[in-house]
Every structure is written in structure tokens, then in C-alpha cells.
Amino acid sequence: MSIQLLRYILPLFLIGAYLYSYLAFPYRFSKSNNLILPFKCNINFLILIIILVTIETLFILYLSNYIPLSNSFPKYWWLIIPLVTLIYLHLIYSITNSFEDNKDDFVGRPNKLVTKNGRKVILIIMIIVLSISISLEIYLSLKGKIDYHNLRNSIFNNIFYGKDKLRYYIFSWLRFINLAILIYLTYANEKAMCYYKLPFNWND
């Protein structure tokens, strides 16, 4: 496998993992106000997933500018990602019913949901893959361009291929927002389901 192909595979893997997380994590069922943004939990989680996918898509746009995936691909092939994402999220959102925590009732956990430990493993994998992808991009964009006599400027002037194409430079830095979101969701995963007003028996 070539390094160029790996640079595309990693963000595409992450996009798939983000979309799977929307299906497999319980927050889409919650109407509490206990996630980071000032909205109901189900809307909050939907927005976070959209942010995650959007930033990875912008990174793929960055890659397409510097190392096109294939000359046989249409120039704007990456537009299929937001299109599929919107259709998928709309479909899952439209069939999701909210649940309320009731200590007297046992509510069966939907089959698609993964356990708390399963969610933790998925989040850790995503954090590792994203960290590898960011590190690889930093290494490749700085390779052979470091001036140890002017270390700071040589890094910030050349990282992610420099500021000459400012929007692509910004697209790459945005991935640190994704890293922060994933770390936050790992923290949120440690909370009991009653914190999100979801059935008590979904805690395992």
C-alpha cells in the first residue's frame, strides 16, 4: 500500500466510524440537555457527528489539492461524502424514538446499540487513527523542510504545505477540533445512562 493511498484511507475510515457511531451510540435517543452544546442531546449528538464528518471531508479536499487520489476520478468526487452522510443521518434520525428514564420499567436496548465498553473501544480506535493521520500528514508535509536554526518559523511556514493556500492550511488544522470532540465523547461515555435520561438497564 502506498503512503498516498493510506493518507486517503485513514480519513475515509474515520468518516465511516463516525457514521457508525451515530447508529450505535445511545445519545441519539436522549432528549436531555447534558452534552456540550446548548441543545437537546439527540440534536447535540447529530451536530457533533456532522462536524466530525465535515472536517474529515475538508481534509480530503485538502489532500485532493496536493495529491489527487486518481486522475480517472471526477474533480469533485468527494461531494458524494456529504451527500451520503446527509441521506444516512436523515434516515437514522427519522426512525429514532426518544426514551425516558423510568426506574419502574425495563426498556430493551435497541439491537444496534453497543455496550459502554464497546463504545469506549470504538472511541479509542478513532482517536488513535486520527492521531496517526494527523502525525503522518505533519511528517510528510515537513519532510526535508526543517531549518533547525529557525525551527519555529520553518515548522509553521511549512506544516500542511504552508500558508500559500490558506484555506487548505486551515482545513488541516481543523482536525484538532475532531480530536477534541472524540476526547469529549470518551469522557461523556463514562456517565451513567440516567445522566442522559435514558433507561437504567442500558448502562452495561
pTM higher than 0.75 for the full model?
yes
Would the pLDDT of 187 be above 70? yes
As a whole number of angstroms, the distance between CA 134 and CA 78 comes to 19
Q: Please name the residues in contact with 93: beta carbons below 8 A apart, sequence gap of 6 or more.
A: 28, 42, 46
Predicted confidence (pLDDT) at residue 164 exceeds the cutoff of 80: no
pLDDT at site 41:
85
Q: Where are the domains of the chain?
A: 3-202
pLDDT tens-place string over residues 149-161:
776 767 777 777 7
Distance, CA of 109 to CA of 34 (rounded, Å): 20
d(CA 38, CA 44): 8
pLDDT of residue 128: 97
Which residue did the predictor score with more confidence, 10 or 154? Answer: 10
| pLDDT higher than threshold 70 for residue 131 | yes
Q: Which residues of 73-98 are buried (b: 16+ CB within 10 A; e: fewer)?
A: eeeeebeebeeebeeebeebeeeeee
* Cα distance between residue 41 and residue 95, in whole Å: 16
- For residues 103 and 186, the model is more confident at 186
* pLDDT tier at 183, thresholds 50, 70, 90: very high
CB-CB neighbours of 59 under 10 Å: 28
Q: What is the mean pLDDT of residues 128-157?
A: 81
Q: Greater confidence, 166 or 181?
A: 181
Average pLDDT of the segment spanning 172-193: 90
Q: Grade residue 189 by pLDDT with cuts at 50, 70 and 90.
A: confident
- What are 73-97's pLDDT values in tens digits? 777 888 899 999 999 999 998 888 7
Residue 120 burial (C-beta neighbours within 10 Å; 0-12, 13-18, 19+): middle
**Mean pLDDT over residues 134-156, rounded?**
77
User: In 3-state terms, what secondary structure has residue 112?
Assistant: coil
For residue 49, pLDDT beyond 90: yes
What would the mean pLDDT of 179-197 be, rounded to a whole number? 87
